[in-house]
Amino acid sequence: MTSRNANIVINRAVRFLKKAVVAMLASVFVFTALMIVTYYVKGAVPDVLVSEFFAFFKIEGGAMCLIKIVEMIFEKLAELTKKKKAARSRRKNEGGKMNG
């Protein structure tokens, strides 16, 4: 995959992650509001449902965090690789000018 294609894929993934985070926060807000209403009406909430719901989003949020960290590491590595290549080409050009 070329670096341009890789950047396109990374940008799409970042946009998806941002949308997913917004959707997660919205669903957590709605679920919490519904559980408050349920408690008000019934006097109790389904504890297992609540714990499993938040456990899912804890895992999902952690996975998104891990994806973001790996993405940042790859970006830094790509940046370092570009700098090294640029430094090598400068040294080659300077060496060729001195010898020529």
- Please, what is the angle between helix 47-99 and helix 3-42, to 10°? 160
Give pLDDT tens digits for 13-70. 777 777 888 888 899 999 999 999 999 999 998 999 999 998 888 888 888 888 888 8
Q: How many residues does the chain have?
A: 100
Residue type (1 letter), 39: Y
Please compute, for residue 8, the number of CA atoms within 13 A of its CA located in the half-sphere on the CB side: 5
Determine the Cα–Cα distance for residues 3 and 88; give it in Å rounded to an integer.
19
Q: What is the pTM of this model?
A: 0.59
Please compute, for residue 88, the number of CA atoms within 13 A of its CA located in the half-sphere on the CB side: 6
Compute the Cα dihedral for 40, 41, 47, 48 and give only its sign: negative
